[in-house]
């Protein structure tokens, strides 16, 4: 792309962003803690879903010191529902590092060195909070750039990502890196949509190779999908005097370590199923589970399980699957 075209593209994008940007809570600040928190939440979560969590987090942990001082269980309990809980654990660990440092790191490499911070998050925080020229490449920006440049490589391949990152860095406006990055992400999230991009509302239409050749639907090029597997899970709702029996996942569990779940029939063969309360589907990576919720009884609770009083329920981080099951049971 010629440098005059790059300048035109920057102007068109920033002018569009000034008018079209959504009023999201993390856009009202350039405070590093808040920007970092929002970017970690947004790593695998849509903006609309992340916003209420962001607000609740800031009410409970208004600064990095408060987050650092909190017990991990409290952090996980507030995070419950956002998924990808390793993010919450690493966020907590990073907060402790920042608090012991006494200030938020203010350059790309030091931000990148924090636990849980990858290239994307480091670039977002460095550019938005510290106006440093580092281009972001999230999923939305990658899709947008692959259409803009008619990228023919499979989008998930490292070589393709490296080409797209180089394009993002070339296009980045060094005078307004934070606004430029946010504008690219916003355009990808709201206009250059995955299925049907809204090209007639796009400020980059004149520079877009996919638009000019009518190839928007073919791009980005995706890897062939892996097949899904199906499996059954039988969740047991075992009550005793206003309490429900839960098991805690071990700290070394590959997923949801430390979280609480309803026990399952496969691990409690002595439990007697009394009544099917309902079922719901739940997908984890490549497996589609049919989750059945059974009211059940058990002669005695084995070691490792715990009765949790329904009134103290919100103090515990509970897995999404168990929350869905409890909803079916009217709890």
Q: Residues in the site for ligand SF4, rule: CB under 6 A?
A: 144, 147-148, 191-192, 197-199, 202, 204-205, 208, 210-211, 216
Smallest distance, ligand SF4 to C-beta of residue 26, A? 24
* Spatial separation of the C-alpha atoms in residues 159 and 226, rounded to whole Å: 21
Smallest distance, ligand SF4 to C-beta of residue 198, A? 6
The residue from 2, 5, 39, 261 that is catalytic is 39
Phi and psi at residue 33, in whole multiples of 5°? -60, -45
Smallest distance, ligand SF4 to C-beta of residue 210, A? 5
Q: Give the nearer residue to ligand SF4 in terms of CB position, either 196 or 285.
A: 196
Q: Give the nearer residue to ligand SF4 in terms of CB position, either 212 or 297.
A: 212
Q: Give the nearer residue to ligand SF4 in terms of CB position, either 187 or 236.
A: 187
Smallest distance, ligand SF4 to C-beta of residue 274, A? 55
To the query of whether residue 295 is one of the catalytic residues in this protein, the response is: no
Smallest distance, ligand SF4 to C-beta of residue 190, A? 10
Q: Give the nearer residue to ligand SF4 in terms of CB position, either 138 or 234.
A: 138
Q: Give the nearer residue to ligand SF4 in terms of CB position, either 129 or 219.
A: 219
Q: Catalytic amino acids?
A: 39
């Amino acid at each position: 792309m010629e440098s005059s075209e790059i300048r035109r593209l920057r102007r068109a994008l920033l002018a569009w962003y000034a008018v079209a940007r959504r009023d999201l809570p993390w856009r009202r600040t350039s405070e590093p803690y808040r920007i970092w928190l929002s970017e970690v939440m947004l790593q695998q979560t849509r903006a609309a879903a992340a916003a209420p969590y962001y607000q609740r987090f800031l009410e409970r942990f208004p600064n990095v010191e408060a987050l650092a001082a909190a017990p991990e269980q409290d952090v996980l309990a507030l995070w419950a529902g956002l998924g990808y809980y390793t993010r919450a654990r690493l966020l907590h660990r990073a907060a402790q590092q920042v608090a012991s440092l006494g200030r938020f790191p203010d350059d790309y490499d030091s931000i990148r060195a924090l636990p849980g911070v990858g290239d994307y998050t480091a670039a977002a925080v460095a550019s938005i909070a510290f106006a440093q020229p580092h281009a972001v490449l999230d999923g939305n920006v990658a899709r947008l750039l692959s259409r803009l440049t008619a990228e023919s490589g499979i989008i998930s391949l490292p070589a393709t990502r490296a080409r797209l990152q180089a394009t993002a860095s070339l296009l980045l406006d060094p005078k307004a890196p934070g606004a430029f990055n946010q504008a690219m992400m916003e355009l990808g999230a709201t206009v250059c949509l995955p299925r049907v991009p809204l090209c007639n509302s796009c400020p980059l239409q004149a520079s877009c190779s996919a638009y000019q050749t009518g190839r928007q639907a073919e791009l980005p090029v995706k890897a062939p999908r892996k097949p899904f597997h199906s499996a059954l899970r039988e969740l047991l709702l075992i009550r005793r005097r206003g309490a429900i029996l839960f098991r805690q996942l071990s700290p070394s569990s590959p997923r949801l370590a430390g979280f609480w779940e309803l026990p399952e029939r496969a691990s409690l063969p002595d439990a007697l199923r009394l009544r099917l309360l309902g079922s719901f589907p739940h997908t984890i990576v490549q497996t589609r589970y049919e989750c059945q919720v059974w009211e059940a009884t058990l002669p005695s609770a084995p070691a490792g399980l715990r009765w949790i009083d329904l009134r103290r329920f919100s103090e515990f981080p509970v897995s999404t699957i168990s929350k869905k099951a409890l909803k079916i049971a009217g709890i």
